[in-house]
Structure 1
């Protein structure tokens, strides 16, 4: 089964991080992705642009409403995602526990 691991968190620390801090975090992500590749569990994923660059499209009463910014006005935002292959939700959660961020785990339907 495939699972979507959504990286979530406060974007401010990343925005305020210097080059060395960003390099260290990218290295953590590199180790995580190497572990997934070794287990043949990695099926793609990407870092997302900061949430203020998002456009939200909502449908309401037959109308399409477009607004600048993320869907929800919260501190925690989705910063990226990884698709993994796992035998069970428990295994997907175990993999998610090794991500260098907080994670929302969802089974991919279908």
Structure 2
């Protein structure tokens, strides 16, 4: 089964990180991706630019509305994702618990819809 692990980061916690802390976090994240690759469950992962680069598009009754920023009002914003292919939801949760960025926010785990 495929699951998308969306990585949500608390801006305040991220802002408090030192350059050295970010370097460690990056190294840990890459190491975890390589571990998932070795286990055969890794499909894709990407980090996203910060909240200030986001734009949100909504279409309502034929009108397009484009706003700056992420789509939700929250202290946690989408920072990246990991797409995995594992046996079941329990396995997906086990993978999510190992994502280093979870220490700066949260990881939402959701099955990919099969059509």
Give the TM bin, normalised by the shorter chain: over 0.9
Secondary structure (helix, strand or coil) at the match of 1:87 reads coil
Q: What is the DSSP-based 3-state SS (H/G/I as helix, E as strand, rest coil) of the residue aligned with 1:72?
A: coil
Match of 2:2 in 1: 2
Write the mapping of 1:29-108 to structure 2, written as runs, cut at 5 A.
29-100=29-100, 101=102, 102-108=106-112
How many angstroms does 1:12 deviate by? 3.1
Residues paired across the two proteins, number: 110
How high is the TM-score relative to the length of structure 1? Answer: 0.93
Mapped to 2, the partners of 1:49 and 1:74 lie a distance apart of 17
The structure where helix makes up a greater share of residues is 2
Task: Check the 8 A contact 1:11/1:79 in 2, yes or no.
Answer: no
Unaligned regions of 5+ residues in structure 1, if any? Answer: none
User: Once the 2 structures are TM-superposed, how far is the Cα of residue 52 of structure 1 from its aligned partner?
Assistant: 1.9
- RMSD after superposition: 1.2
Tell me, which stretches of 5 or more residues in structure 2 are unaligned? none
